[in-house]
Amino acid sequence: MVKKGSQKGSLLGQDISKLTKLEKEVLFLITEEFLTIPKVAQRRKVTTRAIYKIRTNLIKKGALTTTNKKVHNFQCGNEPFGSGIRSHGFEWNIKILWKDHRYSNILKKNNSMFIAGHTVRLYSSSIEIYGNDSGSFFGEDVHHAQAKAFNYWNSFFIRLEHTLKVDLIKPHKFNVKLVKNHFASINNGLAKECGDNSDRIKVYAPEDGKLWFLIDNSFNLHEAETVKTDTASVDMQKVVAPFFNDIRDHFLSTGEVLTLSSFLKVQAMFAENIVGHVSAINNISLQVEKLSSVIQDFNKPKISKLDFVKSKIVVWSDLSLNKDLVSELEKSDKVLLGDWLMDKFIRNA
């Protein structure tokens, strides 16, 4: 059974960035002046009960954690600009760290609900979150868009804890898994040409046959999109963006506009020539791979294992990409890494 959060008498579905003047003042006193609830009540000349009520509203709106820390959030669904990156298509799986009896009552009544427009599915020991279609975060690049996304979702998780009467986020706990996340280069030239010619492009990864790139026109934004969750961020940063930068550089240096048809012609010529040169190309590829391996080993920074792992983690999704490196750390370094991750993505978000 699916139940939508009521707009009347409930804060579910409201914009978490909209606070009343009184809520903003109480939030400031608690998080900036570090006053206790009785001290805030004394400063405001009201009862402590009234301040506790305001504090409860701040937690529900995702502006304050249950430990009285301020949440710096960004609103979901930022307006797009002329070009850049759209981070969207989020799916999360979170193991519940603690729950009280009220969660069981909620689960009995509804195993699926809408909160702030997102679909939340409830299970006895975990929850799944499916971001809505308008849950997009726009930035100049992948890091900028993803920073906005993680700030928003951190606030949403805190809000969810209060709504469902559970604990989802704690230091040194790795119970939050990003199941799906897509990146799109908006107002992309190739995507526009494909739209004009009604062409469809999908590219599948050779290692597992899964779709990793497609041309899409979601929200009429003409997007070149990376959709393979475990590599989407790297694909956009290291493959798609450099590819189109090369096209731009070619135009600036030669004045020649490269179109989809020109790519197809080159591809056809290449297909004809490659038949007689497979062995040579494979050999060159093998030697390049060996050379790349040597260069990578040579360029590895002479730093501690812990600092090397930190340098690999720029956004949250990098953690799963480098799980093998994390597993090789000493136990004490894993504890330090956990603290560093909390500071980078949660406490200082």
**Given 3-state DSSP classes, what are the helix, strand and coil percentages for the chain, each rounded to the nearest 5?**
50, 20, 35
Residue 291: how many other CB atoms lie within 10 Å: 10
Q: Span 140-161, mean pLDDT?
A: 89
pLDDT of residue 72: 53
Q: Span 95-119, mean pLDDT?
A: 91
Task: Round to whole Å and give the CA distance between 321 and 241.
Answer: 20
Top mean-pLDDT range of 56-70, 74-88, 161-175: 161-175
Task: Round to whole Å and give the CA distance between 174 and 156.
Answer: 17
Task: Round to whole Å and give the CA distance between 348 and 129.
Answer: 23
Largest CA distance in the chain: 87
Is residue 231 over pLDDT 50? yes
**How sure is the predictor about 2, in pLDDT bands with cuts at 50, 70 and 90?**
very low
Least-confidence region, from 152-156, 185-189, 286-290: 286-290
Torsion of CA 55, 56, 59, 61, to 10 degrees: -100
Q: Span 270-277, mean pLDDT?
A: 54
Q: What is the pLDDT of residues 27-66, one digit of tens each?
A: 989 988 888 999 999 999 999 999 999 998 888 777 777 7
The overall pTM is greater than 0.85: no
Task: Round to whole Å and give the CA distance between 291 and 284.
Answer: 10
- What are the residues whose beta carbons fall under 8 Å from the beta carbon of 7, sequence distance 6 or more? 13, 14
Q: What is the pLDDT of residues 282-338, one digit of tens each?
A: 667 677 777 676 666 656 556 788 888 888 888 878 888 888 888 888 888 888 888
> What proportion of the chain, given as a percentage, has pLDDT over 70?
73
pLDDT of residue 336: 86
Q: Which amino acid makes up residue 241?
A: A
**How sure is the predictor about 179, in pLDDT bands with cuts at 50, 70 and 90?**
very high
Which token pair is 328?
């090789």
Q: Span 158-162, mean pLDDT?
A: 88
pLDDT of residue 75: 45
